[in-house]
Structure formats: C-alpha cells, structure tokens
Amino acid sequence: MDHGKARVLAAGPRCPSLGMWASKASISRYSVPTPISRTWAMVNEARGSGGGSSDSEGSKDSSRCSTPGLDPERHERLREKMRRRMESGDKWFSLEFFPPRTAEGAANLISMFDQMAGGGPLFIDVTWHPAGDPGSDKETSSMMIASTAVNYCGLETMLHMTCCQQSPEQITGHLYKAKQLGIKNILALRGDPIGDQWEAEEGGFDHATDLVKHIRGEFGDYFDICVAGYPKGHPEAGSFEEDLRHLKEKVSAGADFIITQLFFEADTFFHFLKACSEIGISCPILPGIFPIQSYSSLRQLVKLSKLEVPQEIKDVIEPIKDNDAAICNYGIELAVSLCQELLASGSVPGLHFYTLNRKMATTSVLKRLGMWTEDPRRPLPWAISAHPKRREEDVRPIFWASRPKSYIYRTQDWNEFPNGRCKSPRQELLKMWGEELSSEESVFEVFAHYLSGEPNQYGYKVTCLPWNDEPLAAETNLMKQQLLRVNRLGILTINSQPNVNGRPSSDPIVGWGPSGGYVFQKAYLEFFTSRETVEALLQVLRKYELRVNYHIVDVKGENITNAPELQPNAVTWGIFPGREIIQPTVVDPVSFMFWKDEAFALWIEQWGKLYDEESPSRMIIQYIHDNYFLVNLVDNEFPQDSCLWQVVEDAFELLNRPAGLVREVEAS
C-alpha cells in the first residue's frame, strides 16, 4: 500500500489473490448464513428459557464452567444484601437521581451512573414524575432511566412509584413492565399533589399503604418495597404520632425498609428512630442526606418538603447566597458532620443521598467519610448487568469489550442494531473525527489521536470512536506505543489486550475477581485494515500457524479463519481459591459474524453520515467500509512475549518490498 497517496475510490472487483493465499495456507473459508441461530456465546438468557439451538451445545459445553458467579451479591435480593451488611457491621450508601428532561441530559446521567458505580453504592433509586410520562419508553422516562441503570450499568436499582394520576390498572401495567425490564425494587409513595391539594384518582389510591398492599397482592414477594418516613412528621398529618401510625401501617402492609425525608440535625433522626422502635417498627431505616449545593436548590427542596431550615444554617448561608462554590463547600462540611454523628451512634446501617443529579458534593462527602471504595478489582473483566435473567452469565465474546451496552442490547432484543452511544453533538464529532477528510491516512490519524489522548489538528481531543463506548482501559497503556505505530500505518485497532501470565487478581491494571487469585490473558488484537495488508498478513501468518488463531472477514461476509471446527477460544481466565477455573471472555467464530455486521455498519451510521453524501470525506469512509477487512488475532502462547506485534511488523516489511522480491516469496 502507498500510505502517502490519497485514495477516494468506489468499491472495485474482488482481488483473486486473497483466495490464493487462503488456499496456499490450507485455511478454511466459509460464509455464515443469516439469520444465525442464537448461540450460548451471544445470549446466556436463552439457557434459562429453553432457547438456543442444539448445534451450539458442543461449543457451550467446551467453553463454560459450572462455577457459580464470583460475587454472591449478584444472587441476593436488596433486603438480603442489607441484612448481610447489618450483620457484618459494614456500612453502605445509596444514591437518588431524577430523570432529566432532554435526551442529552439522559446520556449525561447514564455516564454519571458509570462514574458513581465506581464508589460502590449498594443501590440507586430513580424518582417518578407524573408530568414527565414516567412509565413510557422515552429515553428520559423514569422507567427507561431505571432500566438503563439495571441492564447497562449493572446497578441495583429502585424505581419510585406513586399513586398520583394513576388507576390501579395503570399501576399494575407499570409494575409488570418494570419486572420485565429486570427492576426488582420499588419505592412506594402517594406522591406530591399536582396542584395545592391532593386530588384522588377515581377508583385510585389515596395513600402509600394502599399502593404497598396492591403491589403485594398483585406480585406477591417479587419486589422489595421501600416506603418514605418523615422524621418531623408528614406536613399533611394531624400530628407526629398520627404520621407514625401511618408509617407502621405501610410496614405492616409489606414494606421491607424505610428511607427518610431529608433533615438537618442528627437529633431529629434519633428521635424519629426511637419513636419508630417504640411503636413496633423494626425494619431498616435509612436517613436521607441532602448535601446543600446552592442557595436555589436548598430553597426549592425546602419548598417541596415543607421543612424549616434551622436558624444557625440560615445565618451562615444568607451572607453567601450568591456564591454557589462557598455554599457547596459549607454544605459538604455540614453533611460530613451530620453523617459522622449518625454513623457514630451505631444505629444507622447506611446513608441515602439526595444527589440532585450532581456528583461532586456527594462524592466529596463519601470520600471524607471513607465510604467511597473504588476497589480496582472487578468481579469479572466486563461490566455485569443487574437484570435477574443475567445472574448466571459468566462468559461473553471479547468483540463487544468496548461496547458492553451494545452487547446487552443485542442479546435481549435481536430485532435491530442498537444506536451507538457516542452521543456527542454532530459538530463535536466533526471536530474530533475531522471536518474534512483528505485520505485514508486522515482516518488513521483519528485513531492515533484517540489512543494518544493528544489534541488533533483542530485542537480537540478524540474522546471516543464509533466502536468504543468506554474510556480506554488501563491495560491499553501497556501497549500504547505499539498501538500508536500500527494505527498510523493503517492497522485500525478497535479492541486489544496484552498477554498476562498469572498476575494477582488484585493487580490494579489487569486484576479481577476475588482476592488471592491469579488471572491470565492471551494477547488479542482486533482491527480494520486494507486488502493489501490482509494479503501480506496471510503470508506472514503461515509461519505462525500453530501459535496464532485468526479470523478475517469483509463486509460481504467472506471469512478466512484457521480456528479449528469453529470452537470458541478462551482468551481470559482466572484461578481463585476454592473455585473451578473461570473463563469469562472468549473469541467465538459464530459471534464474530454477528459482530462483523455491527462493526462495519458503524463506519457509515456513526461516521460517514456526518458528511454530505457526495463529499470526498463521505466517499473515503464508504471506501473503507466497502473494501477493508475486519481481523482478529489471538496469540495462544500467553507465557511468552506476544508475537502479534512481530506479525504486523513482518506484514509491513513485506508490503514495502519491491514487487520482484514479493513474487519470489509467493513462489516459495
């Protein structure tokens, strides 16, 4: 390939020499028909429902082990997790979020879920706003935000449900939908009135107690149910004692635990806790913590909750009410002091934070308290979904390692490709990926800037690519220089991992699983590249036939592989005390053909459509889509230094040889 020459070409005839190299190397060639039956590697929930094809049984048995999930909490209900934490004295925290109004806000909130998950919340909850179509399929609805948190972010999630403007039939419909989406926890509330006074829905519920009874009557013990408590009594109750009796009724109707309204002084909570105990309420009671973040948010929340702010807090805030930074710092100090007093009492098992969809104040408080964990170990090398159907999932194909949310989507729906999650506005993407492309080499540079983290020619950092939802993994830095070199030469990598031979499971870069274990990886490289480079690779790979497994496929489905009998190849595994070997990541030939369709489509759907249809930039992306190949390489000799970089270097060296020498190599 002439890397210095721009090419803007239509798709040409197929090159016959590619088949020749495959034939010389005794490589198997096949095309997988569509649709392909669902195999174990693509969806584990088929096992639970009797799905899957019998043809995949050998593949399934050869690559799965019978080991139960590494994390016992994957199999526990929320109330069981709480009980276990209380018995061990291990304090926890949980976080509340509300659905944003815009699609961009939803994308930002989902990103925050991923960030906040790193601190180790026991659960999160998502509020229910009757005016925002909360039970719909809109990406901003309460239902969809909660579903995303469960299925894509792997968070134990509780969905608020109110009686407001809903009939019992509508509530039942929402609960069935929540159950189908994998949501297992409900915060049952009457809800705030739409106007000044509560107006009952005809035939509907007037009290949270009615809602709790309805949930238990319709769904038995499926949902864990939380209810709200008011440390100073509900503002509409006749007295504090009357409100306590209503709370006792909610618990007696089937509630599992209580989260309180916000308060400002620890003694308020202790008095409430004592009163609850005296009336016979024995379930866990979590204090609601509100770190003050601004004058306006404090006023709004106090207005909604009808609480009185203590005078000593007013005296501090009033003089600095126009300085949000100063108020936030004060709010953090106030929340830290309140939480320390609550935790020191020994009566508080966990803390529930009202985040207002902001990260800084809550994380600052939790870090000061020593409750923000950020354990570098992962239960498995990929993000775990919290959907009940995926409790037993312990193996995934490596191809979706950088698009885990896409993998979850594909393996639950099977009807269409998911939209990419690089949700930056079009102008932002153009600044990252090129407002104008002049050659294939322009594309090479985009990949290189993504890996290097350095600004491109427009002064912007490339923070995502169509194939990469997630930030670069820490282990990528172990191969950064090699990756930069090959990308600039036209090996456009979209997935990779270094070889690992018995590193401790606690290793901050490649570790995962329980303590005391050891993890292993085979070197893996996945990339797009030109037909000319593929021809050179096939020549070089003849020297590595017993060591390197490869799959090479174009957009039309021509697939060249030396994988034996289309069996999956484990590329990540771990050994842990008292357990069988866990092998959670595989290269599976059948799944690769599913991934091929998505990977090639992203060139056009995510990148090409940024440009006018007849523009040179669009034609360059179209040319790559039509003519490049998707390649994956696995070096099976994991105890040795990876040979994959040498394979690529030998291919480049072969490409740069004079034509006469290449023919001599072909003849030999």
- Residue 561 pairs with which residues in a beta bridge? 28, 551
Indicate the helix (H) or strand (E) that contains 219.
Answer: helix 208-219
DSSP-derived letter for residue 153 is T
CA 239 to chain centre: 45
End-to-end C-alpha distance for the chain, whole angstroms: 22
The residue among 601, 409, 594 whose CA lies nearest residue 35 is: 594
- Which SS3 state, helix, strand or coil, does residue 472 take? coil
Choice among 73, 76, 96, 637 that is catalytic:
96
- Cβ-contact 126, 164 below 8 angstroms: no
Give Dmax over CA atoms of the chain in angstroms: 97
160-189: burial string, b at 16+ Cβ within 10 Å, e else = bbbbbebebeebbebbeebeebbbbbbbbb
What 3 state SS string does 164-216 have? CCCCHHHHHHHHHHHHHCCCCEEEEECCCCCCCCCCCCCCCCCCHHHHHHHHH
544-564: burial string, b at 16+ Cβ within 10 Å, e else = beeebbbbbbbbeebbbbbbe
DSSP-derived letter for residue 587 is E
Sorted by sequence, the CB contacts under 8 Å of residue 556 that are 6+ apart come out as none
Distances (CA, A) of 284 to 257, 299, 460: 5, 29, 50
Phi, psi (rounded to 5 degrees) for 476: -60, -35
Query: Helices 589-602 and 404-413: crossing angle, nearest 10°?
Result: 110
For the record, the structure tokens of 44 come out as 């584990």
Alpha helices in 280-323 (DSSP H): 295-305, 311-317
How far apart are the C-alpha atoms of 226 and 272, rounded to whole Å? Answer: 17
Which amino acid does the sequence have at 605?
E
Phi, psi (rounded to 5 degrees) for 552: -130, 125
Active site residue 139: no
Sorted by sequence, the CB contacts under 8 Å of residue 318 that are 6+ apart come out as none
- Cβ-contact 208, 227 below 8 angstroms: yes
- Cβ-contact 310, 264 below 8 angstroms: yes
How far apart are the C-alpha atoms of 184 and 215, rounded to whole Å? Answer: 12
Sorted by sequence, the CB contacts under 8 Å of residue 344 that are 6+ apart come out as none
The residue among 501, 502, 483 whose CA lies nearest residue 493 is: 483
- Which SS3 state, helix, strand or coil, does residue 69 take? coil
CA 511 to chain centre: 19
Looking at the annotation, which residues are catalytic? Answer: 96
